[in-house]
């Protein structure tokens, strides 16, 4: 899968706020993701994002 800044990623596990959708803010060896439910931001390894992605919604 090709990930770009602005895409929405649906991950397998939910965030404690109840949302499982994240916006990609930075792409590289690590991703910066922002939770669409509460706005919390995290840095996560590319490998983990690729492994746990359930769906990808691109921003055209």
DSSP calls for 26-41: E-SSEEEEEETTT--E
Q: How far apart are CA 43 and CA 8, in angstroms?
A: 15
| Of the candidates 31, 29, 36, the residue with the CA atom closest to the CA atom of residue 15 | 36
Report pLDDT for 60: 66
| Residue 52 pLDDT class (50, 70, 90 cuts) | very high
Query: Over the stretch 3-37, which tens digit does the pLDDT of each residue have?
Result: 999 999 999 999 999 999 999 999 999 999 999 99
Q: pTM for the whole thing?
A: 0.89
Report pLDDT for 24: 97
């Amino acid at each position: 899968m090709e990930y770009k800044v602005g895409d929405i990623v649906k991950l397998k596990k939910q965030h404690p706020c109840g949302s499982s959708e994240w916006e990609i803010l930075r792409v590289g060896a690590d991703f910066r993701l922002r939770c669409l439910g509460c706005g919390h931001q995290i840095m996560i390894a590319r490998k983990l994002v690729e492994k746990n992605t359930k769906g990808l919604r691109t921003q055209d």
